[in-house]
Structure 1
Amino acid sequence: MAEEIINRVANSKLKVIDLEDFYPEGKRVLFDIKDWLFEGLVLREKEFRASVSAHDWSQYKDAYISLYCSTDAIVPDWAYMLITMQLEGVSKLTVIGSLEHLESILYASIISDLDLSIYQDMPVIIKGCSHKPVPANALVLLSQKLKPIAKSIMFGEACSSVPLYKRKKM
């Protein structure tokens, strides 16, 4: 007679939080402004403004945009602000930096708004493997938010987790 296999993880109080579950769907665009600079290096205001005005911004409807310059040009802040004005009401979010920076900002907002009360005094595993881009910064922010409320925090999977924090018994 075979013994019944018991899933001890499923029967435990262990709570798993997977940041991938909160991944905001939508197109990501890395927008390089170098082509709007003279020889890719010098911003000429009149020509730059003309390029911004002539561009079809509707193609970025509901997208997440990361503005950057791939050359060593010194780009004044107002240039990115001018582009952002065009994307207001079109894109879901516009930032300056890499796509990883964009994801980090998205997750910072999500984590800030998360109600983590269900993890109060519970052992928690922050799931480590994901198929969507979850930046390391998001894991750090979530850890910080969980520490005051969780009994313990681990990272990874239930079968092989790394302990990070355990509240001291009083």
Structure 2
Amino acid sequence: MEGEIINRVANSKLKTFDLEDYYPAGSRSEIDISQWLLEGIVLVEARFRESLKNTDFTIYKNHYVAVHCSTDAIIPQWAWMLLQTELSGIAQKVVLGTLVDLETALYVPIIKELDLSSFENLPVIVKGCSNKPVPVAAYMMITERLHGIARSVMYGEACSAVPVYKKSR
């Protein structure tokens, strides 16, 4: 048939990998410990312990929690340990850092354990523009894993992919 439109992408061996498909479901929360510091910068042990004791941590039940300090306070290691103790058995996971650090920490074991054998020697496009907060580090991790497995790795959409890696022949 003359003038027939052929979808070359659908007919190609190109495989799409979408990091959003692996996004762990669950609530995310952030705790800034500066709220328990004197004037937001000085940790007074007795006051800090009392503040933790009087905080209802059950609101973080099954949450992924990022803990950090938004001020330039110097926080001793034991303070983070005390906070972890309060969240243990309540939160699903606790990470020191920002929500981006939390998302990165959630993706590390997921990407590490992925079976990528179905991508062997094939062109792979890592889908961009996710609706969920997929961290840049996750894109780097999947690129590292696909390197040497896939024939090529691209980023974006099939209609406008950016070449990232191509296996040498």
**So what's the TM-score if we normalise by structure 1?**
0.94
Partner in structure 1 of residue 162 of structure 2: 162
Partner in structure 1 of residue 92 of structure 2: 92
Letter of the 2:69 counterpart: C
Task: Percent identity, please.
Answer: 53
The superposition leaves residues 30-84 of structure 1 with CA deviations (integer Å, 9 ceiling, x where unpaired) of 1111121111111111111111122111110111111111111111111111111
Aligned pairs, number:
169
1:66 matched to 2:66: yes
Partner in structure 2 of residue 106 of structure 1: 106
**CA–CA separation in structure 1 for the residues paired with 2:156 and 2:90:** 37
Partner in structure 2 of residue 56 of structure 1: 56
Letter of the 1:103 counterpart: E
Partner in structure 2 of residue 122 of structure 1: 122
The CA RMSD measured in Å over matched residues stands at 1.4
Partner in structure 2 of residue 20 of structure 1: 20
1:76 matched to 2:112: no
**CA–CA separation in structure 2 for the residues paired with 1:120 and 1:131:** 27
Alignment gaps of 5+ in structure 1 = none
SS at match of 2:161: strand
Q: Which runs of 4+ in 1 moved over 6 A?
A: none
SS at match of 1:46: helix
**CA–CA separation in structure 1 for the residues paired with 2:66 and 2:125:** 31
The superposition leaves residues 86-137 of structure 1 with CA deviations (integer Å, 9 ceiling, x where unpaired) of 1112111101111111111111121111111111111100111111111111
**CA–CA separation in structure 1 for the residues paired with 2:45 and 2:74:** 13
**CA–CA separation in structure 1 for the residues paired with 2:166 and 2:148:** 11
Partner in structure 2 of residue 153 of structure 1: 153
Partner in structure 1 of residue 46 of structure 2: 46
Post-superposition shift, 1:3? 4.4
1:29 matched to 2:29: yes
**CA–CA separation in structure 1 for the residues paired with 2:148 and 2:61:** 39
Structure 1, 28-37 or 2-11: larger mean CA deviation: 2-11
Letter of the 2:36 counterpart: W
**CA–CA separation in structure 1 for the residues paired with 2:17 and 2:23:** 13
Alignment gaps of 5+ in structure 2 = none
**CA–CA separation in structure 1 for the residues paired with 2:150 and 2:160:** 19
SS at match of 2:149: coil
SS at match of 2:163: strand
